[in-house]
Amino acid sequence: MEATELKACIRKESGKGPARRFRQEGLIPAVFYGRGEEAIHLSVNAADLLKIIKTKKENIFIKLLIEGEKRKERLSLIKELQIEPVSRRFQHADFYEIRMDHKLTIDIPLHFSGIPIGVQNGGELQHLKRDLKVSCLPSALPEFIDIDVSGLDIGNSIKVQDIKVPEGIEVLDPGDVGVAIVAFVKVSVPQPEAAEGEAEAPAEGKEAAPEEAKD
């Protein structure tokens, strides 16, 4: 497990006004939640955090270097990152403490590799689940879990119970939950429309009814 260092400063001011001023200075208001201790209000550099996010988007472990009266180092995981929907700028970050001797519950991304046999035969691979909820120590946490789907034919599927996970990882999702399936693709053939004014042909074995005599 790799952790990226990020400098942080203790934030003594709170509220919308100070938060707006922090953002104008290129900083992001943040909070660190530790086990058995009060939350620490922080500010971190927006550009530095953006570099970390671009490098790795899932399960980012960050070693916070907290500057204050005493320098502290805290291993953390980004629990929540608020982003302004229009500008896409960071608004607030929540960091949650990670301890190497405590298991954590986390979602691990699933990566699918290979081209299913069923797709080559005209089927379609459908992803039913994109991540797997697990419990493990931080040192045992993989970046992702790879699933080989090349052996799937049309109608075949992979369930949670079929996934092989590394040693030390406990899967929390139910085993009968579907992860991927190769489905049959129904192709609808358009029916030709009768030309305007063209009379419909009588059904086979039946004669057309005679026209009524006119006076």
Confidence category of residue 215, pLDDT binned at 50, 70, 90: very low
- What is the average pLDDT across 202-213? 50
| DSSP structure class, residue 58 | S
Architecture of the CATH domain 4-97: Beta Barrel (2.40)
CA distances from 80 to 32, 57, 77, 127 (A): 11, 12, 9, 25
Q: Are 182 and 115 in contact (CB under 8 A)?
A: no
- Domain spans of the chain, in order of start: 4-97, 104-183
pLDDT digits over 196-206, tens only? 555 555 555 55
Average pLDDT value over all residues in the chain? 86
User: Is residue 155 over pLDDT 80?
Assistant: yes
Q: What is the CATH number of domain 104-183?
A: 2.170.120.20
pTM of the prediction? 0.71
pLDDT digits over 65-90, tens only? 998 767 889 999 998 899 988 988 89
Collapsing DSSP to helix, strand or coil, 44 comes out as strand
Collapsing DSSP to helix, strand or coil, 7 comes out as strand
Helices first, then strands: H and E counts in the chain:
3, 13
Q: Are 77 and 35 in contact (CB under 8 A)?
A: no
Confidence category of residue 53, pLDDT binned at 50, 70, 90: confident
- What is the average pLDDT across 90-107? 92
